[in-house]
Amino acid sequence: MRHLKFLTRSNAPVWRISTAPKNGPIVVSELERLVCVSAVYDWSGGLVWLEVPESSDVNAYDIRRALAHLGGHATLIRASEDVRTRIEVFHPTPGALGKLTKGIKDSFDPQHILNPERMYAGL
């Protein structure tokens, strides 16, 4: 594993993954079997900064699938504007949590004029 240069000059896509500290290395290991990634761990492994190759979805499906059974969430921190318009930048909120999020946003912004669909599609 090499150190990332995402804080300097690199333009590679970067994900911020939050999970239980014991699961960070597992998530990275699962992804390394699928694609060439580089990772830097923080919070004893609970925060992973993940650099991935440029692609149409910057590995969103694989990253979120790995987190689905381990728990946690992934946020796309850096990618091209084209990619950012095609995929969910923030981790999707499932079921009841999604409804709760929508309800809170609706109560603060009932006319949906503040950053419409900026964080989540349909919100």
- The pLDDT of 88-108, averaged and rounded, is 82
**CA diameter of the chain:** 47
Higher pLDDT residue, 85 or 3? 85
Q: Quick check: 23 and 72 in contact, CB under 8 A?
A: yes
Measured CA to CA in angstroms, residue 77 lies from 48, 54, 84, 95, 99 at distances of 12, 13, 10, 24, 25
Q: Quick check: 4 and 49 in contact, CB under 8 A?
A: yes
* 123/40 Cα distance (integer angstroms): 32
In this prediction, what percent of the chain has a pLDDT beyond 70?
A: 86
Q: Which pTM was predicted?
A: 0.78
pLDDT at 117 over 80: no
Measured CA to CA in angstroms, residue 112 lies from 42, 60, 99, 123 at distances of 36, 27, 15, 8
pLDDT at 119 over 80: no
Q: Where are the domains of the chain?
A: 14-92, 93-123
- Look up the CATH number of domain 14-92: 3.30.70.100
